[in-house]
Amino acid sequence: MLGLTGGLIPCPASVTVLLLCLQLKQITMGATLVVSFSVGVALTMVSVGAAAALSVGHASKRWGFTSQIAIKAPYLSGGLILLVSVDTAYIGAVGLS
């Protein structure tokens, strides 16, 4: 899921590099830079995802309470995102007034 959601939106930095290289008529260099950047991002995301999956499995074997934390973690992160978004909306509304 991390790789799927990370690839849905193009990276502004890679689009900028590609447009600059197109303007300089260096299409091959631009394509090479964007492909290299994309491979690096993909490797990083896969590595982090694999490390997270392996560490959760290892931690749940070592400590029994980890499974309870893992079950409640999505609700905690959802609540945190909700609080941050409400705070951001409030700050934006105050700034518009």
3-state secondary structure of 32: helix
Query: Is 60 exceeded by the pLDDT of residue 4?
Result: no
Q: Which residues, at least 6 apart from 22, have a Cβ–Cβ distance to it below 8 Å?
A: 30
pTM greater than the 0.85 cutoff: no
Cα 20 to the center of its chain, rounded Å: 25
3-state SS assignment for residue 1:
coil
Distance, in Å, from the CA atom of 70 to the CA atom of 51, rounded to the nearest integer, reads: 15
C-alpha dihedral over 86, 88, 94, 97, to 10 degrees?
-100
Tell me if 42 sits within 8 A of 3, measured CB to CB. Answer: yes
Amino acid at 16: T
- Could you report the per-residue pLDDT of 15-74, keeping only the tens digit for each? 888 899 989 999 899 889 888 888 888 888 888 888 887 887 777 677 666 667 777 878
pLDDT in tens, 68-92: 777 787 888 889 999 999 999 999 9
